[in-house]
Amino acid sequence: MKKTILAFLFTGIFAVQFLMADSPITSTPFWEVFKSEKIIRTTVHTSGLLTPELADFLISDKNEISIKMAVINCLSWDINGKTNSEYFLNYLIDKKIYLNKKEFKSKGDADHLLCMAYLKAMDDYFELKEALVWANLAIKKNSTSYTFAIIHGLIAAQAEFGDDWCKVYMYTHKVRINDNLKKDMREDAIEIIFEYMDMYESSCQ
């Protein structure tokens, strides 16, 4: 009897760990494609914490949006939660780019909004409501970028995770088949994303 109970408990623990480690936000490490970038080599050594140097990189309009997303992807997630999005918001306000959160939402630069959305999703991938708000604001400002669309798709897919597996798949598949988007993300980074997301294709049959 004890062995049966222990086996059940271990199975349950394993299942929970599997679910936590296997999702659109946690299983698409496309930052690895950008390892040659100096900023990524720096990010690897920050223990997943946003620093002033990284924040400066994210807010600069001189840097490619795909590399900015790779930085956030490299910062990764933590089952116990993170506060990188809060740091980013405070950084923007301290730099006097925006007066407050309300002004950021209403007048935010598209790149800044997408950074905030992805940081928020990485901070707590179990609670995606606010991350989706930021992502929707971002994509309204830039609806032609593949990078914007795929990050929005990953966040939306994560929000749907566990409810409708076909929707999880379609959120990013729709991006893949949209020929009107500007391909501003590296092809091998896209492959990493879909290597995972295509696992859900059979749910739509």
Output the CA–CA distances (angstroms, integers) from residue 26 to 74, 83, 122, in the order listed.
Answer: 11, 17, 8
pLDDT band at 9 (very low <50, low <70, confident <90, very high): very low
pTM for this one?
A: 0.89
Q: Mean pLDDT throughout 61-85?
A: 96
pLDDT tops 80 at residue 33: yes
CB neighbour list of residue 166: distance below 8 Å, 6 or more residues apart: 200, 203, 204
Closest of 118, 151, 125, 116 to residue 21, by C-alpha:
125
Question: What DSSP designation does 201 have?
Answer: G
Give per-residue pLDDT as tens, 102-138: 999 999 999 999 999 999 999 999 999 999 999 999 9
Model confidence band, residue 187 (pLDDT cutoffs 50, 70, 90) = very high
Q: How far is CA 165 from CA 25, 106, 171, in A?
A: 15, 33, 10
Task: In whole angstroms, give the CA distance from residue 178 to residue 157.
Answer: 17
Q: What is the pLDDT of residue 161?
A: 86
Token code pair at residue 109: 């630069």
Handedness of CA 156, 118, 25, 179 (dihedral sign): positive
Looking at per-residue pLDDT, the higher value among 67 and 21 belongs to 67
